[in-house]
Chains A and B, each alone.
Chain A
Amino acid sequence: MSIEWYLVVSAMIFCIGAGGVITRRSPLVTLLCLELMLNAGNLALIAFSRMWGNAEGQVFAIIVMVVAACEVCVGLGVIVAMYRRRLPIDVDDMRELHG
């Protein structure tokens, strides 16, 4: 199968993720969509790694997975802290800071 198909899929996943970040109101779903965006990058990296026949893209992709896990940990931590303070878990209701 040619490389284009992998790229099309990865671009679609990236766009779905970006669209979700913009439109979804729950921070949890937003985090999920961020994961989609990062993993779209991973898919592209691995496809390119196959195409060029070197391992650099795969190494990059593994590192990205670790980083993505860290980001989600911090994101969930902040959401739990907000939940404990009974703050609205809805990005549209976060209006204390505006401008």
Chain B
Amino acid sequence: MIAATGPHIDVEALSPLLALTGGGLVVLLVGLLRPRVVREVLVPLLALASLAAALGLAIWQWDADEEIIAGALRVDTLALAFTAFVIVAAAITVLLSWRAVAPREAAHGEYYAMLLVSAAGMSVLVQAQNLVSLFIGFELLSVPLYVLCASEMRRSSSLEAGLKYLIIGSVGSATLLYGLALIYGATGRTDFAAIADALNSVGGPVSDPLFLTGLALSVVGLAFKVSVAPFHQWTPDAYEGAPTPVTAFMATATKVAALGVIIRFFDVALINAQPDWAPALAALATITIVVGNVGAIGQTSVKRLLAWSSVAQAGYMLAGIVVGTQHGIEAVAFYLAAYLVMNMAAFAVVVARARETGLGDAIEALEGIGQSKPLLAWPMTIAMLGLAGIPGTAGFIGKFFLIDGAVDGDYAWLGIVIVVGSAVSLVYYLKVVAAMWMRPAPRSVPVLAGGAVDDPPADAPAGPRAAGGEVTLVAVGCAAGPVVFGVLPGPLFDIARDAAAAMSHLF
């Protein structure tokens, strides 16, 4: 009889992931305790602690470059940098959820545990080195997000968003799975390095119809998750219906993870088939930039506007992957970090104004806050200008790198599309800025007698209440990011360069 020997488990390299999953379990169990203070204060604090631990462990492992668990996952600077981005996004989401309705309705333990598990799934996804771990990461990310979307169970639009996201997300996963199955059929292997070898032995563009069908289906599956047009229709609905902190998490962390896995999948496993997929991805990026920017123009809800803008931003970032160079990946990593802080600042302001005015996420809620709430108006202004790519912000430098990368990789026309798209995007970003600074506060803002209610009952309608210091703190802190990195891009650029260095087989 042969004794089965399990794969060697490198606990150190696995530690950030263990901290996230372990934290999820602890939070889930502590959430069962009776005292209210435990559920409302200790649980989010524990979630923050496990995120901080995971971030610390990821930084501690920074120089690692190894395959773990029999080649299922790869821990390198790319994976660790993207994991760190996801963790930062999750920590900000915990702060935004602190006094939100969603955790109270869904029970605090479950809500924060789902958040941590989803972050763990994203971490698996960016470390995936195998078709199986890619799929597991994909689902581990998605399934908790479906639940989180539907977590405000008393609001029908939240349930609707959850169900829509679930159905469309599952169609994406099923399509991705079929594509992965066909790629496995064409190459006979599931790990990325072996697939790359199998494709390399063909030489030149791969013309196997089985492989090309699989490639097309997996592009479609991944496009659903990054919300690349024409697979983006779920995005505005899911973003609008989901609780705003969850929307913020979906808009930033999901994008980090999905773009991370696209880099891994296309630039490691399928790099030898680049002539096959690069034109297709370039076409998708162009469509996405056009559709996202045009779709955002007529929106009156800030969440929908940010959803359409996130579609367009995904198109910009896809351009950095199309070229298949280290330079492109560097640009994507830099832009993702900038995009993350800018979007978080914008969503924090949306959360704050939705609580203060009871107008929800309509643009009217932002009118006139330039005079009355400069601490909210400035972060939103910086976020909008940064997303549009105004010089002096990290958004400008990120776009500059992306265009530079596209031109470098012989996709100069894609750079031109990015420039035109950014010019169009000013229409809707400046609309938000104008609403804040140039219009008076609306008279119709409902103000309840007695002002802010500290602790409304769980089923209270969304009436005016205090925004909470932590939300303002997130807004100001995240808005500082684009300005600091816009003036001194050095530190962030070093991280991006480290991340791209993990792809040393590229130029």
Residues of A within 8 A of B (CB): 7, 14, 17-18, 21, 27, 30-31, 34, 37-38, 40-41, 44-45, 47-48, 51-52, 54, 56-57, 59-60, 63-64, 67, 70-71, 74-75, 77-79, 81-82, 85, 87, 91, 94, 96-99
Contact = CB atoms under 8 A, between A and B. Distances in A.
Secondary structure class of chain A's binding surface, majority of residues: helix
Contacts of A67: 135-136, 139, 143, 173
Given A44-B181, A48-B181, A67-B139, A56 B189 contact: yes
Which among B173, B177, B236 has the highest number of chain A CB atoms within 10 Å? B177
A97 B241 contact: yes
B131 interface: yes
Interface stretch (B160-168, B274-282, B492-500): B160-168
A51 B185 contact: yes
A37 B164 contact: no
Given A60-B184, A70-B139, A97-B161, A38 B190 contact: no
A81 B160 contact: no
Contact of B147 (A27, A52, A74): A74
Contacts of B180: 41, 60
A64 B159 contact: no
Interface stretch (B16-24, B149-157, B444-452, B482-490): B149-157
Contacts of A52: 185, 188
A88 B430 CA distance: 39
B237 A79 contact: no
B170 interface: yes
A44 to B, nearest CB: 4
A71 B299 CA distance: 32
B260 to A, nearest CB: 20
Contact of A60 (B132, B154, B175, B237): B132
Contact of B184 (A18, A37, A48, A77): A48
B400 interface: no
A85 B147 CA distance: 17
Contact of A27 (B163, B185, B188): B163
Interface string B229-253: 0000000110011000000000000
Contacts of A47: 185
13 contacts: A14-B174, A30-B167, A34-B167, A40-B178, A75-B163, A75-B166, A75-B167, A81-B159, A82-B159, A96-B157, A97-B236, A97-B241, A99-B236
B163 A79 contact: yes
Contact of A21 (B150, B164, B167, B190): B167
B146 interface: yes
Contacts of B236: 97, 99
A70 B139 CA distance: 9
A68 to B, nearest CB: 9
A99 B304 contact: yes
B178 A44 contact: yes
Nearest to A27: B163
A97 B159 contact: no
Interface string B19-48: 000000000000000000000000000000
Contacts, number: 132
A63 B156 contact: no
Nearest to B234: A97
B171 interface: yes
Decide if the interface of chain B is mainly helix, strand, loop or mixed.
helix
A16 B161 CA distance: 25
Nearest to B166: A75
Contacts of B143: 67, 70-71, 74
Contacts of B188: 48, 52, 54
A16 to B, nearest CB: 12
B237 A97 contact: yes
B132 A59 contact: yes
Contacts of B136: 63, 67
A71 to B, nearest CB: 5
Given A60-B181, A82-B163, A99-B237, 19 more contacts: A7-B185, A18-B171, A37-B174, A45-B184, A48-B188, A54-B188, A56-B184, A60-B135, A63-B135, A67-B139, A67-B173, A71-B146, A71-B170, A74-B166, A78-B150, A81-B159, A85-B153, A85-B159, A97-B160
Interface in B170-222: 170-171, 173-175, 177-178, 180-182, 184-185, 188-190
Nearest to B295: A99
B147 A94 contact: no
A71 B177 CA distance: 14
B152 to A, nearest CB: 11
Nearest to B163: A78
A67 B171 CA distance: 13
Contacts of A45: 181, 184
B178 A14 contact: yes
A71 B304 CA distance: 26
A57 B135 contact: no
Nearest to A47: B185
Nearest to A37: B174
A60 B36 CA distance: 43
A47 B188 CA distance: 11
